[in-house]
Structure formats: C-alpha cells, structure tokens
Structure 1
Amino acid sequence: MTDSSFGNNIRVDSALGGPAPNAGPQRRRKLLIGGGSVAVVALLVGGGVWWATSSGNDDSGQRVPVLPSTFAGYTEAKPHDTEWSGIGSESINTDITKGEVNLTYRASGGKALIIRARYEPGTLRPSDPSDPLYGIYNTKVDQKQVKTYSAGAVGGKIKCADVTIGATKFTTCGWHNDTTNVALAPMLNHSEIVSAEAPSYLRTFINSLQLTPQ
C-alpha cells in the first residue's frame, strides 16, 4: 500500500471538552474490555492483537523494547496519573518486561497520548500489509476505514483509522513486528480526539523503542 493522508479537514469530538455525559472514556473502556454492550460504528469486536499460532523460542534476535521517558514533546506520566484508570484494573503496568503496558504520555495544554504495548517473543508473526488493524481498545477496525503509513527506520507499516465509540470519534493507530505490537490514540482534556498527527506520534514512539529494524 502507499502512504495516505488524513487531509486537512479534521473533525474532532464536539467542543473538545469530552463526550456525552453517559459515554465518558473511562466508562467506554470498561464496556469494551469487559464485554458489555456499547454502540460501535466502524468497529468490529475482535480478539487479541496480531496473535499467531506459532510456538517456540524467539529466533528473531529482536531487542526488548526500551520505553522512552519522553518523545515528540510528550513526557511519560507517573503510574497513578493515568488515562487508563477505567479499564477495571487496580494497578497499571508500565514495565514491558512484565507484560502488556498501558502508558500515558502528557504534553502542555491538556494534550495526552494513550499507548498500549506488548512484547511477546516467539508469538507474533512478521508484519504483513494485509494485517487487520486492532485499535487502542483491542478492537478490530473495519479494513475499509484504515489508512497506511511508513513506520520509518524500524520497518513495517503504521495503520490508522478514525473510529467512533458512543458519542466520541477519535483516531487510533497500530503497528507491530514479530515480537512487539503497539497501539496509540491521542487525547485532549481526557477525551479521545481525531488527530492528523497520530501516525507521526506513533512513528516517533516506535522508533524510540531501540528495536532491531525489520
């Protein structure tokens, strides 16, 4: 696929102050991850993230990701200062060697990025252009909504789409290689938003992980 652009006419969540009262981001995360009922447009509920059926040891020589403390003007928030508090977990893991991480990075003006990343040596298959996009909340995105971008030096492709959950429309992006998968969404004032910069943010993040290029 060739790289695409979201264009200049970007619509964001109304007033940027948050979704409708009964569809806040924390409640939506609980519903999506807990399997409850929620109105979803352009999203198909899916399982795992780029899982493969292969088993065995990691033969890729891939490095363990090193999570950056800062990138692209964003700084990692402390574990208690998280946008992931609504996923139903008592504690938020930020150590990728111990399992999936749910990260929050903050910048000035109420801007934030939520990032989910997992390192699974020996369980993922190499990136393929036909792979589906699994968004930030582990949901499979309708392939017709997806646009593809270069991932830069680390290799592979970034996939992004504007999706709608409840009253909120926002951008979600994902990337993976044969050991690591990452998903990202931008936020403003604690609400997910549409952002033309999301692919660039994800590109910068994954190229900060010190991974071996594909």
Structure 2
Amino acid sequence: MTNNTADNDNDIALTPISVPDPAARERARRRRKVLAVVGAVVVVAGGITWWAVAANGGDSKPVKHTAVIPKAFGAYTEAKDGDTEWTALSSVNTDPAKGDVYLTYRASGGRAAMITVTLDPPDFTADDGTRTGPGSESETKDLLGVDKDQKITSYPAGKQDGEIQCADTTAAGRTITTCAWQSKAAEVTFSPVLNHHTVTGQNQAAADLRAFLDVLRIEAKKA
C-alpha cells in the first residue's frame, strides 16, 4: 500500500480511511463524552478498509449561542437528510440547538466535507489538570489529534476572528488532514473527503473551511 504524505500545498492524496478518527476528537471532548469508539482494520479484496464503530450521546445543549448552519458554501451543498459521511456514529445530529452537529456537504466529482460544530465549548482540561479556555495550544492539538511536538499550520480565518489551524495525522500508515477553528462561542472542525475516503491537502481544506466560516452565523441567544 502506498505510504501517503502531505505537504502544505494544494496536492490531495487519498488515504484508505472512511472517516476521520473519532478517538482523536474524543480526546478534545472528553468532558462531554461524545464518542465511544472501537476500531478494527479489516482486510478486504483490493486493499484495507478502516472500520469504526462509535456511539455518540450526552452532548450538552448550547446555553449562550445559536447557529444558523449554511445550506451551501463555496462549491459545496448540504447533503440531504440521511446522506452522511459520519457512518461510524450510531446517530447523527444536525441541529445545533440539540448539541454538537456532524455535517456532511457534497460537491462535484465525489468531493465531500465532514464538519463538526460545537457551540459554547467548555474550558479544556489538560492531562495535568490545567484548565484553559477554548483556542489554547493544548486544546488545539488535542482537537486535531496531534502530539505536542507535531507541526500545526495556521491560515487566515476570513470574516471570523482568530485563525484556522490544520494538521496531518498518521496512524498505522494512514494519513488524514483535519482543520479547526475555535472561539469562546464555537468550535468547528473540517475534514475533506473524496469518494468516501478522507484525503490530505491542507491548503484546500483551510480554504474550504474559511468559505464555510464566512457564511456560518453564530449569534448570542436572546434573553
């Protein structure tokens, strides 16, 4: 099997993982107990497929903010009800009023985007017990699923404050790109997909996340 690598350019490399690793996001959301994951590598005709079984639940409902999820951004259009790339989840919430959302958007040529939005993210608690607000370096690395020494690349966030931060993570020879944007009001992650496989390519992923953020409306709840 080809060993995929990803430089910070516009190249996109396929990787045989059907979904972003839910365990990586769980490390950043351990205080919400979003996912319980069991993974296995199954050898099938023509290659190796990554299967993940996940159960999600227990998300806290947002208390300070609401969000209007865009129907489209850039070249992408929101997938129809029941059409999702989040196949590892036992249920897929797309209503931000009910908790964390797991969104799928589709574009031409088999392209898709897997996006999560969390409103009112709580303070992050590091392994040493230190508590920090959203957007700290330790939370960003946990959210992206990278170790403390791994490189994270920052990109402009467009109309939103702050930065988009992206990293490539590799496990068992499989590499995926994940980008994230954080504020005190919301936490958003983005993973690019091609033909139901995650792909690498940080520049394009950051540009697509920026296009999503430009039309995402986050508002304070009315008293």
Per-residue CA distance 1:15-39 (angstroms, 9 max, x = gap): xxxx2xxxx4259658984344679
Which letter does structure 1 place at the counterpart of 2:164? Answer: I
Partners of 1:162 and 1:145 in 2: CA distance? 9
Q: What CA distance in whole angstroms lies between the structure 1 residues aligned with 2:21 and 2:166? A: 20
Return the alpha-carbon distance in structure 2 between the equivalents of residues 27 and 173 of structure 1: 11
Quote the offset at 1:130 in angstroms: 6.6
Query: Which residue pairs with 1:111 in the alignment?
Result: 111
SS at match of 1:193: strand
Gaps of 5+ in 1: 40-56
Q: Does 1:154 align with 2:160?
A: yes
Identify if the C-alpha distance between structure 1 residues 30 and 172 changes in structure 2 by more than 3 Å, giving closer, same or farther: closer
Cα separation, 2, equivalents of 1:175 and 1:70: 19
Q: Which of 199, 207, 221 pairs up with 1:200? A: 207
Map of 1:133 onto structure 2: 141
Greater relative contact order (CA < 8 Å, ≥ 6 in sequence): 1
Q: What residue is the counterpart of 1:170 in the other structure?
A: 176
CA 1:85–1:30 in structure 2 vs 1: closer, same or farther (change >3 Å)? farther
- For 1:118, the aligned partner's letter is T
- Of 186, 189, 192, which residue of structure 2 is paired with 1:183? 189
In structure 1, how many angstroms separate the alpha carbons of the residues matched to 2:170 and 2:80? 28
Counterpart residue type for residue 213 of structure 2: I
The one-letter amino acid paired with 2:163 is: K
- Contact 1:74/1:112, CA 8 A, preserved across alignment: yes
- Secondary structure of the equivalent of 1:34? strand
Aligned residues: 172
How many percent identity over aligned positions?
A: 35
Q: Deviations over 1:67-106 (max 9, x none)?
A: 100001100002311000212x1x3111111100000000
CA distance 1:130–1:155, shift in 2 (3 Å): farther
Runs of 4+ in 1 over 6 A off after TM superposition: none
The one of 77, 80, 83 aligned to 2:82: 80
- Pair 26,128 (structure 1): closer, same or farther in 2 beyond 3 Å: closer
CA separation of 1:80 and 1:26: change in aligned 2, threshold 3 A: same
Paired with 1:134 and 1:81, the residues of 2 have a C-alpha distance of: 28
Residue of 64, 67, 88 corresponding to 1:65: 67
Question: Counterparts of 2:204 and 2:181 in 1: how far apart (Å)?
Answer: 15
Q: Could you say what secondary structure the match of 1:200 adopts?
A: helix
Q: Distance in 1 between matches of 2:22 and 2:134?
A: 29
Deviation at 1:134, TM superposition (A): 4.1
Q: Which runs of 5+ in 2 are unaligned?
A: 1-6, 27-34, 42-62, 124-132
Shift of 1:114: 0.2
Contact residue 83 and residue 104 of structure 1 kept, 8 A: yes
Distance 2:114 2:218 in 1: 20
Q: Which has the higher strand share?
A: 2
Indicate the residue corresponding to 1:94 in structure 2: 94
Could you say if the C-alpha distance between residues 27 and 155 of structure 1 is closer, same or farther in structure 2, counting changes exceeding 3 Å?
A: closer
CA contact under 8 A between 1:152 and 1:207: conserved in structure 2? yes
2:217 to 191, 206, 210: 210
